[in-house]
Amino acid sequence: MAAVSTACLGLAACTTAGADGARQADSGPIESRAVIAVSAAKDRDWAPLRPLVVRAEQGTLTAVVVRDDRGRKVSGDFSSRHALWKSDQAPLEYNSRYTITAKAVDADGIATQTSTWVRTVKPKRLAYTGLSPYGASVVGVGMPVVMTFDQPVTRKAAVERRLAVTTKPATLGGWYWVNDQMVRWRPKQYWRPGTGVTVRSRLEGVNLGNGVWGDDDDLVRFSIGSSTISTVNIGKHTMVVEQDGQVVRKLPITTGKPGWDTRTGTKVIISKEREVVMDAATLDVDQNDSEYYRLDVEYAMRLTWSGEYVHAAPWSVASQGKENVSHGCTGLSLADAGWFFNLSKPGDVVNYVNGTRQPEDWNGYTDWNLSWDEWKKGSALS
């Protein structure tokens, strides 16, 4: 016994094994075998969607408290054996400091604790989004879902994973990146009338690439109305209007004259305007040019971004059904245009046939000019 006592002299604590195998000390604290590890410790660019994770090695967590720089607590859950705690609150706020305090005990009940911090990323730029059709809209069978960004997106797959379209009844469809700032979703075939659609985007906290991060989440609900599909025969100067599979009217029309040819292909009504001023200056036509015009137009339905409309053109009634005299628009009599305007809605389909000018893929909702196989290749997840 004297030898044992001598060996312990000068030490802060002398630890021996008791009868039950537990550690014992003659004096001073005993260090816990439990080790606490924090995944985010002192990270200054933590991604807001990543959970904060606290682990106890050779021990059990007894408490984890995470607070933001305003003192608000971050929620989370322990694993079944309290070996791990993970936050369930996402996204965390940008450019915010989070303090993490954790306690654990080892098998002998000896406690330890740690305190550290993490700061979330500070974006160089935030991207704001627009989502259409707008909530509660009733649209035609050709209308795509359109999401636009005010900043270029380079991590398209990361964005696409955070977008969801749900429909009733179930509808097969997919996303297509038109460019770095627009992605659209369309069904494989035209929408079924009566379909209810819910679109969700969850982009807050998402890295869009090149220092750009998502700023908001969004949700819209809309529905599909009756099927109105019209066919414009450019060469024969007619428009056949079908609703729910039945021909309802055949109208005389005029389209673009030589040099101002109307584009062929499948178009979708983007918007409706009861009255609009059409100015050739928007097409870079000088006011001194013989082709210059500025007109007050009624019953205008936009088909392309460049300015093709279906609209009332009472000045060309004598040519309607006989020859093409417009600057690219589809002109009808005032009465016929009013009838078609009242029948139509954004998303209705207008097919143009028997012409020579091809459509540009950016010019309007040209989605239906692509086959389903071509459309699927436009997904970042394909």
Do the domains spanning 32-119 and 125-225 agree at the CATH topology level?
yes
**Rounded CA gap, 124 and 339, in Å?**
51
Q: What is the pLDDT of residue 245?
A: 96
Say what the pLDDT of residue 23 is. 54
Q: Does domain 125-225 have CATH number 2.60.40.3710?
A: yes
Amino acid in the structure at residue 294: R
Q: Which residue has the tokens 């985010």?
A: 40
Helix H segments across 324-371?
334-343
Q: Residue 312: its pLDDT value, please?
A: 98
DSSP 104-133: EE-TT--EEEEEEEEEB---SEEE-EEEES
CA 206 from chain center: how many Å?
A: 11
| Reported pTM | 0.86
**What average pLDDT values come out for the chain (382 residues) when binned by 10 residues?**
36 39 59 95 95 97 97 97 96 97 97 97 96 94 98 98 98 98 98 98 97 95 98 98 98 97 98 94 87 93 97 98 97 98 98 97 96 98 96
SS3 159: helix
CATH 2.60.40.3780 fits 32-119, yes or no: yes
Architecture category of domain 228-369 in CATH: Beta Barrel (2.40)
Give 299: exposed, middle or buried? Use CB within 10 Å, 0-12, 13-18, 19+: buried
Please, are residues 295 and 259 in contact by the beta-carbon 8 Å criterion?
no
How many CB atoms are located within 10 Å of the residue 315 CB?
12
Beta-carbon contacts of residue 120 (< 8 Å; ≥ 6 apart) = 45, 46, 47, 48, 92, 93, 94, 95, 96, 98
Strands of 135-227, DSSP E: 138-139, 145-149, 163-168, 173-179, 182-187, 196-202, 207-209, 212-214, 217-224
pLDDT of residue 26: 54
Written as one string, the DSSP assignment of 39-52 is: TTTT-SSB-TTSPP
Catalytically active residues, by annotation = 311, 329
| 133-169 per-residue burial string, b: 16 or more CB within 10 A, e: under 16 | beeebebbbbbbbbbebebebeebebbbebbebebee
> What is the residue extent of each domain of the chain?
32-119, 125-225, 228-369
Residue whose entry in the numeric block shows the structure tokens 């589809």: 330
* 319 backbone φψ class: left, alpha, beta (φ>0; ψ -120 to 50): alpha
Residue whose entry in the numeric block shows the structure tokens 């009808």: 332
Query: So what's the pLDDT on residue 282?
Result: 85
pLDDT for 263: 98
Burial of 87 (0-12, 13-18, 19+ CB in 10 A): buried
Reading the block at residue 195, the tokens are 């379909």
